[in-house]
Structure 1
Amino acid sequence: MFDIPSVIPHRYPFLMIDRITAIEQGKWVKGYKNVTWNEWYITESHQCMPSMMIVEALAQLGAFATIEQEKSLGFLSSISGVEILGEAYPGDRIELFYEVVKNRRGFVLGRGEATVEDKVIIRAEEIMIYIQKSTEG
């Protein structure tokens, strides 16, 4: 459906989204991340996906929604108003949603939400991404 590696540069083990399921370019995007036992951050003593990795997944999703040109890069610039309301464990599918609030001069401000089985586990009121446009031809 959507070729994620052609839009954002992240690769395993730092690619935090598995699939884009719907998008309205420049406005919002939906996707998901399947959490498995094979994730590098899942250990015997820590058996859930770290909350900040889920925030990173939301930022990656946001960059995908706003990058209009291949070879552009999106960088997580800042976050604010993050609420951690639950956790995601191996076997869970994290549904991700990012909505663009403002897009000015390469800075994209949006909000995001991550859910597992229709229960919100992470809510971020502000996720700012800086989009660096390619200077190649």
Structure 2
Amino acid sequence: MTTPDSTLDSALDTSLDIHQILKLLPHRYPFLLVDRVLSMEKGKRITAIKNVTMNEPFFNGHFPHRPVMPGVLMLEAMAQAAALLSFRSLDMVPDENTIYYFAAIDGARFKRPVEPGDQLTLEVEIERMKAGISKFKGRALVGSELACEATLMCAMRQIN
């Protein structure tokens, strides 16, 4: 069961630091891919960042001679931002029995590589939320350059 969002001040609707993100997402190193939320409009959109460093574990094998962030991890970063937006839009803090699953990815396009030193800006908008299923339009940018875009579907479920 989820709880009302009492641990996060309602004045924080526009931004979240890493400590607040850790209260909302179950992901931890090396799979936490959102470092900060810059802005958020409940029920509408979120802008978050992932600072990409050479210390990322995936760079050891992707690719040692030319490190590039895997596209699937850009999609995962957008999905994590979408989860944050969903939880805040529903005024809830998920508990250990709440899981937020990726349900579908459509129209994924990768436009530029993301390399060590880049800051990935994640822009996600809600297209639809109904009965625990949410559809989002997401973009990941480096500066003003589009790195990745996709339509994401996620499902919130209770597990026991």
TM-score scaled to structure 2, two decimals?
0.79
CA deviation string 1:31-85 (max 9, x = no partner) = 0001101000012245011011000000000011011321233211110001110
Q: What is the one-letter code of the residue matched to 1:42?
A: F
Structure with greater helix percent = 2
Moved over 6 A (4+): none
Who is 1:49 aligned against?
69
Q: 2:155 aligns with which of 105, 130, 134?
A: 130
Pairing 1:16–2:41 present: no
What is the rounded CA distance, in whole Å, between the counterparts of 1:82 and 1:110 in structure 2? 12
Query: Quick check: which has more Rg, 1 or 2?
Result: 2
Question: 1:73·1:133 contact (CA, 8 Å) conserved in 2?
Answer: yes
What is the rounded CA distance, in whole Å, between the counterparts of 2:103 and 2:73 in structure 1? 15
Q: Which runs of 5+ in 1 are unaligned?
A: none
Give the paired residue count: 134
Who is 1:59 aligned against?
79
Tell which deviates more after alignment, 85-94 or 72-81.
Answer: 72-81
The equivalences for 1:1-137 within 5 A come to: 2=16, 3-43=20-60, 44-67=64-87, 68=90, 69-70=92-93, 71=95, 72-124=98-150, 126-133=151-158
Tell which deviates more after alignment, 1-10 or 79-88.
Answer: 1-10
Question: 1:8·1:74 contact (CA, 8 Å) conserved in 2?
Answer: no
Question: 1:32·1:96 contact (CA, 8 Å) conserved in 2?
Answer: yes
Q: Which runs of 5+ in 2 are unaligned?
A: 1-14
SS of the aligned residue for 1:55 comes to: helix
What is the rounded CA distance, in whole Å, between the counterparts of 2:103 and 2:43 in structure 1? 18
RMSD: 1.5
